[in-house]
Amino acid sequence: MADLRVALCGGGTGGHYYPVLAVAQRLSKKYDTKFLYFTIAGRLDDKRVERDFSNVRKIPLKVRGLLRPIYKPSNIRVILEHLVQAKLVKKEMEKFKPDFLFSSGGYVSFPVVLAARRLNIPIFLHEQNALPGMANKRLVKYATAVFVSFEESIEKFGKFAYKARFTGNPVRQIRRRREEIFEELGFTPNKALIVVMGGSQGSSFINQKMLELYDLVNWNETNLQFLHVTGKGNELKSFEKYPFVKAFEYIDDLHEYVAKADLVITRGGATSVAEIINYRRKAIVIPWSGAAENHQYYNAVSLEKLGLGYVILENAVTPELLLSRIENSLSRKTLSTPVFKEPVELIIENIIREESR
């Protein structure tokens, strides 16, 4: 299979976008590949795709997610909007003639997957979370296969569990050395580096709790150094008085810092958890209680089972507990695990094998 034409969708947040990006970039290295990417107009994928991809045509879709609870009458309008967009998607796919569709779920996948099904285009799904999202659970019946990030997710697909393949969650490749990271930040190489982040949108809750922790830390005696990403639009001045903290609103290649950290303090988003697992980092995970179907909690528990981290629920977070967990985490040995193929390689192997039948 020398040449490929691939339709893609998955965006809105980094959790949906970065797995698609990782797969697409690896496909481009292996094959002469052209992409048709259906983005969510105005969201993260729509803003980045043309910068991150080569040989891509972008089609922004004006879609939004269903409101909770699902039975709200206003959702009728949302469903109608999706059906209108599905007609646009079908028209674009007919012109592009993709070999297959790769979708990472989320509400944008509804019109895209439905259009691909009508055109008999092979559909491959990826589920990032331990607890599968509504889109993938509803659309798996149309898929050739669904790739899952956690083995325990397989049974959650019920009668379609036979379509599930445990691959893990694709992450971006690392190119920078630890020495480069420390030199750039002006940090001391023999002190621990702790990366604090609240997901692609940031977290005011984590920002506030960490400020309380920084007040607790002894400035002169600490062996801790913090890289704190607050999220865009959040005030940085509050962090300036702490010499052991470097704060930024946003870091484009944050995964490079995560991969070199001694510890990560984070929400339980799929991309964050995947990077921690793949880079074998230690972590303290504070799941966002407002996440759909509480999926961040299940992601965090899956990571904890691997011996890589602690889970602290929002209502239990105190600066004293955080400091205790930091000290315990840094002193713990990480459980050794066998080396498997990269998730992105497993996904591509599965797709090519199915397409070659």
Largest Cα span, the chain: 65
Do 108 and 203 reside in the same domain of the chain?
no
Please, which residues bridge with residue 148 across strands?
127, 166
pLDDT tens for the chain, residues 1 to 357: 568 999 999 988 888 999 999 999 999 999 999 999 999 999 999 999 999 998 999 999 998 877 777 777 887 887 888 888 999 999 999 999 999 999 999 999 999 999 999 999 999 999 999 899 999 999 999 999 999 999 999 999 999 999 999 999 998 888 899 999 999 999 999 999 999 998 767 789 999 999 999 999 977 678 999 999 998 877 789 999 999 999 999 998 899 999 999 999 999 988 899 899 888 899 999 999 887 778 899 989 988 888 888 999 999 999 999 999 999 999 887 655 545 688 999 999 999 999 887
pLDDT at 335: 55
Q: Is 176 annotated as a binding residue?
A: no
pLDDT at 337: 54
pLDDT at 329: 92
Do 76 and 166 reside in the same domain of the chain?
yes
pLDDT at 326: 95
Do 29 and 155 reside in the same domain of the chain?
yes
pLDDT at 252: 84
Establish if 263 belongs to a structural domain.
yes
Sign for the CA dihedral angle at 311, 317, 321, 327 comes to positive
Q: Is 109 annotated as a binding residue?
A: no
| Residues 169, 20, 14: CA angle, nearest 5 degrees | 80
Residue span of the structural domain in which 319 resides: 178-331
Per-residue tokens: 224 = 């801790």
User: What CATH code is carried by the domain that includes residue 278?
Assistant: 3.40.50.2000
Q: Is 15 annotated as a binding residue?
A: yes
Measured distance CA(128)–CA(143) in Å, rounded = 16
Measured distance CA(36)–CA(56) in Å, rounded = 6
Do 348 and 323 reside in the same domain of the chain?
no
pTM, entire model? 0.84
Q: Is 334 annotated as a binding residue?
A: no
**Closest C-alpha to 207, from 322, 293, 297:** 322
Buried b / exposed e over 100-127, threshold 16 CB at 10 Å, is: bbbbbbbbbbbbbbbbbbeeebbbbbbb
How would you class 356 by CB atoms within 10 Å of its CB: exposed for 0-12, middle for 13-18, buried for 19 or more?
exposed
Establish if 296 belongs to a structural domain.
yes
pLDDT at 320: 95
pLDDT at 158: 96
Do 138 and 227 reside in the same domain of the chain?
no
Report how far Cα 180 is from the mean position of its chain's Cα atoms. 25
Establish if 336 belongs to a structural domain.
no
Q: Is 251 annotated as a binding residue?
A: yes
Question: Strands (DSSP E) along the chain, which ranges?
Answer: 3-9, 32-40, 56-61, 100-103, 123-127, 145-148, 164-166, 192-197, 224-229, 245-248, 263-266, 283-285, 309-311
**What is the total count of domains within the chain?**
2
Do 105 and 205 reside in the same domain of the chain?
no
pLDDT at 354: 92
Establish if 242 belongs to a structural domain.
yes
Amino acid letter for position 203: S
Establish if 337 belongs to a structural domain.
no
